């Protein structure tokens, strides 16, 4: 297999965002017993123009072959290498309301390397509760617990009005990757990455696509 | 205000997806008391290249002025018109585990026109429970309830292995807009729009951006 060192490759953010989606697609194809796929079929499944897919893959060398398409097994190996999902990532959940509980209970089953190892809340009624095998800790203990457990990613389900406060605690514990379920932008140092899950925006987009663009 | 009729405008899906994000950004600016913003500043806030923003807005005529930038109030009006969020959308939640409960309880507070009006499950232990003022109905009653209530959007929190089954029931009730929390692609007729929320992908993207692309 070609060695791919992403540290030397300058890929656009939009491409980076599609890579996990490519991986999922190839994993699904593999599950269905499909060995190879033509770029036009891949384009249909991914709902991406063929030129976008070719451009995305071009950052990692020549992955497909003309008239043959893509070898599913090979693509899985390459994308797993790029995404480096073979190393376990330890995750902290901040905020243990229904959403926090859903995340802890459901986990990230399809990727056994994404592991929620601790959970926090600042509500005394919730601290000490056991959710999916994890005892909810007081937010005051965040820094010491995540350092103990080697956490590198935090997921915040804290509502917008308290999100900045929660993110400040997370950043103070030297965590630089935060998935935030509150859509309002928070202030973080430049080396910290925040990914927002904005359900209202997703819903509005869906309605727009459905109503305005038709079928 | 210029009349904008989106039915005559052929906008790319990528642009459509950014429109609610633009609206949110201008609403945030308005909350902070900002009247106008230069395109370079907007580009920084949105984390989108200026050319992308100009191109997106170009589909709706000339929205900014050179040397002045964008008028925040005016942009809110235009984007609300485009997104048509002033009309109430009635929403059904399918699957009332922790995630379904979180959605019903949290609602879509920042947009009072997105209203969850009914919820369904096929688990007899859950049917009849009251969640945030809504009594969970049996999935068998889906078609009649959503027609009664005038539902036009469904959110499915049903796990992957049962998602297709749930989506088939939703489609059978003539709902054409589905937000799906199970990331595996479901089969739907061409006139049905499915928007996927894939938390594993979001998390992998975040980790990729954080680790591989640095600060």
CA distances for B27 relative to A5, A121, A191, B76, B206, angstroms: 41, 29, 27, 7, 26
The model's pLDDT over B112-141, given as tens digits with 9 standing for 90+, comes to 789 999 999 999 999 999 999 999 999 999
A204–B85 CB contact, under 8 Å: yes
Q: Which positions 27-56 of A are in contact with B (Cβ < 8 Å)? A: 28, 45
Q: How many CB pairs under 8 A join A and B?
A: 187
Residue B177 region by backbone torsions, left for phi larger than 0, else alpha for psi between -120 and 50, else beta: beta
Considering the entire predicted model, what is its pTM?
Answer: 0.74
Higher pLDDT, A167 or B51: A167
Q: How far apart are CA B215 and CA B212, in angstroms?
A: 9
Query: Where do the structural domains in chain A lie, given as residue ranges?
Result: 6-83, 89-201
> Is the pLDDT at A185 greater than 60, yes or no?
yes
3-state secondary structure of A41: helix
Other C-beta atoms lying within 10 Å of the C-beta of residue B82: 22
Best CA proximity match to B58, nearest among B26, B15, B23: B15
In chain B, the percentage of residues whose pLDDT exceeds 90 is 39
Q: How far apart are CA A89 and CA A144, in angstroms?
A: 18
The model's pLDDT over A43-93, given as tens digits with 9 standing for 90+, comes to 887 777 788 888 888 887 767 666 778 899 989 888 887 776 667 899 999
Considering the four listed CATH numbers 1.10.10.10, 1.20.120.520, 1.10.3720.10, 3.40.430.10, the one that applies to the domain covering B6-83 is 1.10.10.10
ipTM for the complex shown: 0.73
Task: Name the minimum distance, in Å, from the CA of B68 to any CA of chain A.
Answer: 24
Q: Which of A98, A108, A209 sits opposite B200 (nearest CB)?
A: A108
Structure tokens at A41: 């079929």
Q: At what angle do helices A98-106 and B98-106 cross, to 10 degrees?
A: 160
Return the CATH fold of A89-201.
Rossmann fold (3.40.50)
The model's pLDDT over B143-165, given as tens digits with 9 standing for 90+, comes to 999 999 999 999 999 998 899 99
Q: Which residue of B has its CA nearest to A25?
A: B184
Report the pLDDT averaged over residues B179-207: 86
| Partner residues linked to B71 by β-bridges | B36
Q: How far apart are CA A93 and CA B147, in angstroms?
A: 38
């Amino acid at each position: 297999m070609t060695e791919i060192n992403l540290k030397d490759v300058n890929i656009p953010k939009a491409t980076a965002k599609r890579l996990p989606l490519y991986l999922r697609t190839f994993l699904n194809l593999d599950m269905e017993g499909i060995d190879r796929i033509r770029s036009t079929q891949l384009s249909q499944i991914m709902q991406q123009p063929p030129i976008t897919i070719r451009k995305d893959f071009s950052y990692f060398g020549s992955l497909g072959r003309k008239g043959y398409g893509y070898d599913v097994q090979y693509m899985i190996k390459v994308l797993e290498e790029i995404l480096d999902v073979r190393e376990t990532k330890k995750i902290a959940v901040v905020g243990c309301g229904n959403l926090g509980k859903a995340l802890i209970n459901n986990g990230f089953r399809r990727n056994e390397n994404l592991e929620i190892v601790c959970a926090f809340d600042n509500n005394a009624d919730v601290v000490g509760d056991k959710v999916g095998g994890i005892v909810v800790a007081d937010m005051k203990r965040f820094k010491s617990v995540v350092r103990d457990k080697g956490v590198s990613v935090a997921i915040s389900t804290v509502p917008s009005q308290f999100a900045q406060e929660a993110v400040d605690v997370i950043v103070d514990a030297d965590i630089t990757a935060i998935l935030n379920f509150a859509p309002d932008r928070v202030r973080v140092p430049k080396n910290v990455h925040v990914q927002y899950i904005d359900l209202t925006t997703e819903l509005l987009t869906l309605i727009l696509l459905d109503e305005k663009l038709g079928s």
